[in-house]
Amino acid sequence: MASSLRRSKKADLVSLPSWRSYHTLCAGVVLAALLAVAQGCYSCGADPPVGETGALASAPRVVRYTHPPVIVDESLEIAHDFNVTNDTNTRVEIVSVKSSCGCLEAAVRDRVLEPGATTVLALRMRSRRGDPARNTTCVLETDQAGQWVYEMDVVSYPRVQFVTEHGSLYLGRAGLRDSPEGTVRVYTHALEGEEPPVIREVRAATDDIHAAVREEGLRSLGNGVSRRVSVLSVRRAPGSASGRRSSAVLLHYAAGGKAAVAELPVSWQNEEVYEIRPAALFLGSLDPNKPVEERTVTIRRRDGKPLAVTSVNTSHPGLVARLEDSSGQEECRSIRVSVATRSVTDVLSDVLTVVTNCPAQPTIRIPISALKRSD
Is residue 330 a contact partner of residue 307, using CB atoms and an 8 Å limit? yes
Q: Tell me how far apart the 2 most distant CA atoms of the chain are, in Å.
A: 107
Q: How many CB atoms lie within 10 A of CB 91?
A: 13
Pair 33, 164 in one domain: no
146 and 10 within one domain: yes
Whether residues 25 and 109 fall in one domain: yes
> For residue 114, what is the domain's CATH number?
2.60.40.10
Q: Are strands 258-270 and 243-255 parallel, antiparallel or unpaired?
A: antiparallel
- Give Cα 105 distance to the centre of its chain: 23
Are 88 and 214 in a shared domain?
A: no
- One-letter amino acid at 240 equals S
Domain boundary among 222, 253, 270: 270
Q: Contact at 8 Å (CB) between 103 and 125? A: yes
The per-residue pLDDT for 26 is: 41
Predicted confidence at residue 18, as pLDDT, reads: 47
Using alpha carbons, select from 250, 268, 236 the residue that is nearest to residue 170: 268
| The domain boundary residue, chosen from 93, 127, 155 | 155
- How far is residue 105's CA from residue 124's CA, in Å, rounded to a whole number? 5
Strand pairing report for 225-236 and 209-220: antiparallel
The answer on 294 and 231 residing in a single domain is no
Cβ(107)–Cβ(127) under 8 Å? Answer: no
293 shares a domain with 216: no
State residue 327's pLDDT score. Answer: 67
How far is it, in rounded angstroms, from Cα 105 to Cα 46? 30
Per-position pLDDT tens, the chain of length 375: 344 445 444 444 444 454 444 444 344 433 444 333 333 332 222 333 332 233 322 344 688 899 999 999 888 899 999 988 887 788 989 999 999 888 899 999 999 989 889 999 999 998 877 677 788 899 988 887 678 889 999 999 999 999 998 889 999 887 767 788 999 999 999 998 899 999 999 999 998 899 999 999 999 998 999 999 999 999 988 765 667 889 999 999 998 888 999 999 999 887 778 889 998 999 988 888 888 999 999 999 888 889 999 999 999 999 999 998 776 678 899 999 999 988 888 889 999 999 998 887 888 889 999 988 765
151/243 Cα distance (integer angstroms): 50
- Rounded-to-integer distance, Cα 370 and Cα 250, Å: 43
Residue 190 shares a structural domain with residue 297: no
- Rounded-to-integer distance, Cα 239 and Cα 270, Å: 9
What does residue 306 show for φ and ψ, rounded to 5 degrees?
A: -60, 140
Give pLDDT, residue 242.
Answer: 64
Amino acid at 250: L
Tell me which residue range forms the domain holding 304. 274-372
If asked whether residues 86 and 69 sit together in one domain, one would say: yes
Query: Count of domains in the chain?
Result: 3
| Integer angstrom CA distances of residue 194 from 150, 156, 188, 214, 274 | 32, 16, 12, 21, 55
Same domain, 10 and 133: yes
Q: Which of 110, 130, 155 finishes a domain? A: 155
- Whether residues 70 and 198 share a domain: the answer is no
| pLDDT given for residue 374 in this prediction | 67
Residues 299 and 234 placed together within one structural domain of the fold: no
Q: Are residues 228 and 298 in the same domain?
A: no
Q: What whole-number distance in Å separates Cα of residue 72 and Cα of residue 159?
A: 6
